[in-house]
Structure 1
Amino acid sequence: MHLTLNNGVVMPALGFGVFQTPPDETIEAVRTALETGYRHIDTAAAYANEREVGEGLRRSGVPRDDVFIETKVWISDFGYDETLHAFDKSAGKLGVDTLDLFILHQALPSRFDLTVGAYRALEQLLADGRVRAIGVSNFMPDHFARLLAETSIVPAVNQVEVHPYFQQREVQASDAAAGTITQAWSPIGGITAYREGGASAFDDPVLGGIADAHGKTRAQVMLRWHLQQGRSAIPKSVRQERIRENFDVFEFVLAGEELAAIDALDTGERRGPAPEVITLETFGREIPEA
């Protein structure tokens, strides 16, 4: 299943994420994902595992041109010249000449002048053919509108927290109105789904009933919900069986009433950090050279 971005570039809808994957586990996880059939890998400079993603790609034996590579610029490298250099750092660590999708990791509303400069650098990289598509992450509608007012190219993707319990419908509507694909990070129930004390999607009776009806897992049902509603989703795992399970979502279809039942699970409660709290003072970190 593929999605066509607003500049005509085709992107696999289901990607493999490596957020919080330790570098020493990333190589094998990426290799397993690519051998399973994933052709879209999502990483970020701030994850500190771009080098290992590149090594996993090389060890997989899958040709570079067959894999859609997405990475993100961290806020410490925002600004026009800084972001041009951030491309060199990321591409160097990944061991590639071009990136398929290069996005800004946060909106950084407290220093939006740097955000605008960074995005203009992405526009230049696109014009130079060094990236195939550009986008943003964690942009709320007001951030998105401010960016569009000061730049030329509409983001191809906005990667935000979306799962059954936090659906961000206003963000999705804003993205759709602009012709931007919404990409879901933490798509399987949110980042607290796996943490002790967190409300777990894996105990949800609604998801359980739908999963049982299709002979699938709750995770597979949630991923299928994303795909059928036109979103990109980037689940992560380091377990081989879970990596394969998360990719096995193309041979069943959720009925309209099942999609509606999942839609009704929305609580409006964010599980990741709010974009407004991400500042250079609290989240700035040096991104090492390639």
Structure 2
Amino acid sequence: MSDTDLLVRRFEEERSRLRTVAHRMLGSPAEAEDAVQDTWLRLTRADADAIDNLPGWLTTTVGRVCLDRLRSASARHEEPADVAGESAAAETVGGRDPEQEALLAESVGQALEVVLTTLGPTERLVFVLHDMFAVSFEEIAPVVDRNVAAVRQIASRARRRVQGRSVDPEVDPARQRRVVEAFLVASREGRFDDLVSLLDPYVVLRGDAAAVRMGGTAELRGRAGVAGFFTGRAQAAVPAFVDGMPGAVVIMGGRTTIALSFTVTDRILAIEVVADPDRLRDLDLVVDGAPAR
């Protein structure tokens, strides 16, 4: 198999996920297909051998393509495509029949509609990539030309706007807090099976350099590995709100030493561990209704 054939195969393995990212960004199956094709063209012009993490590169690239399209549409004062009505005609788009389109529209659901109607292009990209597809803030920052702290603030603002308009149980803060609290209890009590049940199969755990020095891990993927890592841990972690979302902190000597932020839908999609003092100061941390220091 030639290098080109291998690259095509690897891209096709990611196509469905890239289409979902683009669809949630743009709200249109046809535009999503175009964005995915643009991503493929960018890949063919890039040095593929120098890309260490192809799925991550493709995710951020399709996000950048979508952001460019959204900004262009905003400049032309165009309204986003109607989510529910876009594919109502009985034509096939991208090789899918109307029934398949209806299933896809259902999977996008109310959350997409809210995102499309309440968020600006940059907020939409940050929200979709981080909260829906577990892309780290560090990876998103260069895409939107912001520093990591600014991206965190954008994400927090986007969440507040979305949650202020949506009662979808998958983005219900009370339900998310219950999932996080159940995870912390299962972690402390060493209940591996319960941890697995709370984690998405493709969950991603990321820690900053300071967390790694404290015995953490830079990155770990898959629920078995993440559950194994947390089994017996979280002994000192207490529930908290991290940038407005349910999370946890470790406080020692009156100071927050670790913050854990969770991306939660029906299960936990991602966990980010922050221990760097400068990054901790940038976070909005609340424990028992009071700011944490």
> Normalising to structure 2: TM-score of the pair?
0.24
Structure with greater proportional helix content = 2
Q: Which has the larger radius of gyration?
A: 2
